[in-house]
Amino acid sequence: MAAMFQGVGAAAALSSLHSNSFDSKNFLFSPRRSFSVRKAPSFVVVRSDGTMNLDLNPEGRRAQQFIANAVATKEDISAASSSKPGHELLLFEALREGLEEEMERDPRVCVMGEDVGHYGGSYKVTKGLATKFGDLRVLDTPIAENSFTGMGIGAAMTGLRPVVEGMNMGFLLLAFNQISNNCGMLHYTSGGQFTIPIVIRGPGGVGRQLGAEHSQRLESYLLPIPGIQMVACSTPYNAKGLMKAAIRSENPVILFEHVLLYNLKERIPDEDYICNLEEAEMVRPGEHVTILTYSRMRYHVMQAAKTLVNKGYDPEVIDIRSLKPFDLYTIGNSVKKTHRVLIVEECMRTGGIGASLTAAITENFHDYLDAPIICLSSQDVPTPYAGTLEEWTVVQPAQIVAAVEQLCQ
């Protein structure tokens, strides 16, 4: 299924243009992005082909002036920043770059996980780091999630800044007690004496027929834990930015990566930048409906957006990025504009991110809604092995299109 997708945006007015390439081998969506501010991503312009041209929306709906983020980085918006061209890399390389830069910057940062050292990481996120930083900073652990997560938390209590990798987020279920009670709660139960500046990261999500136990979406299980922050990266740009921000944060941050997104390619800036942990990302501004999504579903949404635009709709797509806490500022502004909300997520319907987000929006922005919120989630089933069944487990673009049509009736 080599899916391509395109969208439109009037980015031509803005200076920096960034190219992406489609890597058909890996069946991954390679979005094209451009942004006005070197620090803040603005929106995704998705191409149907690999060319460099940008299709201007003939209706010119979008003004030349872009609001890069609703939670504005108030400076620089109009400034045409002609930054350096940047460099192209894949998402896993962006993660590695972020990690490496932070390890260089702060000697307290260390990495622990299975096969992160000599092997270089099962998804190559830590490749080369052990050679560069040594065995005491890039630590190969035995297969003992409960204890090495606990050890990471203990080390964080003293002021070290460990980055604990779960080879698959699902394995961290074995460390649930440590994450919930120690990671999340120690700052509170010690009356503020200890901070836990740990980063727990790893790939999750439904992959390519990996089976039920290797297709878990832990964001919904960990959401209620008080004291932690959760972010989900979806592009090389925000992967690097969120990784760096997470490491620098004094709070425990869980960074959700996705198995299928590691080979996305994008051009990112050369200079140092981070992404705000609590901020959502405006992927595609629009007027008719707010589509909230994160991680891999962003790409399904953007694919659906192409169809929707052809049908005359103007969806606003927001990658919420911050799963805990929700960026209700960005989301709220969007709801107030479009009055219709569609949530597209990969975790299961019951008790998922969408469920919580629906509640939050209903409670806060009820008056602005013209229609009930629709939440599209994965089915409440263990992920089956068979390819077709697995496809039906997660939300597909056609369902997104149908949902928007229903919302906009």
Partner 1 sequence: MALSRLASSSSSSSSRSADLLKPLCSAISLRRPISTDTTPITVETSVPFTSHQCDTPSRSVQTNAKELLTFFRDMALMRRMEIAADSLYKAKLIRGFCHLYDGQEAVAVGMEAAITKKDCIITAYRDHCTFVARGGTLLEVFAELMGRQAGCSRGKGGSMHFYKKDSNFYGGHGIVGAQVPLGCGLAFAQKYSKDEAVTFALYGDGAANQGQLFEALNISALWDLPAILVCENNHYGMGTAEWRASKSPAYYKRGDYAPGLKVDGMDALAVKQACTFAKEHALKNGPIILEMDTYRYHGHSMSDPGSTYRTRDEITGVRQERDPVERIRKLILSHDLATEKELKDIEKEIRKEVDDAIAQAKENPLPESSELFTNVYAKGLGVEMSFH
Q: In whole angstroms, how close is the CB of 331 to partner 1 at the nearest point?
A: 16
Helix or strand (DSSP H, E) at 391: helix 387-393
Select from 51, 53, 82, 158 the one that contacts partner 1 (CB under 8 A). 158
Q: Cα-flanking dihedrals φ and ψ of residue 347, to 5°?
A: -75, 170
Q: Between residue 288 and residue 307, which ones bind partner 1 under the rule CB under 8 A?
A: none
Count the site residues for partner 1 by CB under 8 A. 54
Who's near 395: CB < 8 A, 6+ residues apart?
297, 300, 344, 345, 346, 376, 377, 378
Q: Between residue 93 and residue 112, which ones bind partner 1 under the rule CB under 8 A?
A: 110
Select from 126, 215, 229, 234 the one that contacts partner 1 (CB under 8 A). 229
- Residue 17-36 contact track with partner 1, rule CB under 8 A, x = bound: --------------------
Q: Which is nearer to partner 1, 109 or 301 (CB)?
A: 109
Is residue 334 within 8 Å of residue 399, measured between CB atoms?
A: no
Give the span between the Cα atoms of 63 and 262, in whole angstroms.
33
Q: Does residue 145 have an active-site annotation?
A: yes
Is residue 217 within 8 Å of residue 205, measured between CB atoms?
A: yes
Q: Cα-flanking dihedrals φ and ψ of residue 256, to 5°?
A: -95, 120
Out of 214, 258, 288, 339, the active site residue is 214
157 Cα distance to chain centroid: 27
For position 141 contacting partner 1 by CB under 8 A, the verdict is: yes
Q: Between residue 338 and residue 397, which ones bind partner 1 under the rule CB under 8 A?
A: none
Give the span between the Cα atoms of 238 and 89, in whole angstroms.
13
For position 6 contacting partner 1 by CB under 8 A, the verdict is: no
Is residue 331 within 8 Å of residue 361, measured between CB atoms?
A: yes
Q: Residue 232's beta-bridge partner residues?
A: 256
Q: Which is nearer to partner 1, 198 or 308 (CB)?
A: 198
Select from 113, 152, 203, 269 the one that contacts partner 1 (CB under 8 A). 152
Q: Does residue 101 have an active-site annotation?
A: no
Cα 365 to Cα 210, 279, 283, distances in angstroms:
39, 18, 21
- Which parts of 78-118 fold into alpha helices (H)? 91-105
Part of the chain binding partner 1 (CB under 8 A), chosen from 25-33, 77-85, 224-232, 334-342: 224-232
Select from 127, 248, 337, 349 the one that contacts partner 1 (CB under 8 A). 248
- Residue 188-207 contact track with partner 1, rule CB under 8 A, x = bound: xxxxxxxx-x----------
Q: In whole angstroms, how close is the CB of 192 to partner 1 at the nearest point?
A: 4
Who's near 325: CB < 8 A, 6+ residues apart?
229, 278
Give the span between the Cα atoms of 283 and 210, in whole angstroms.
29
For position 117 contacting partner 1 by CB under 8 A, the verdict is: no
Give the active site residues: 145, 214
Interaction site with partner 1 (CB under 8 A) = 39, 73, 75, 110, 136, 139, 141-142, 144, 146-160, 177-178, 181-182, 186-195, 197, 226-227, 229, 245-246, 248-251, 272, 274, 276-278, 325
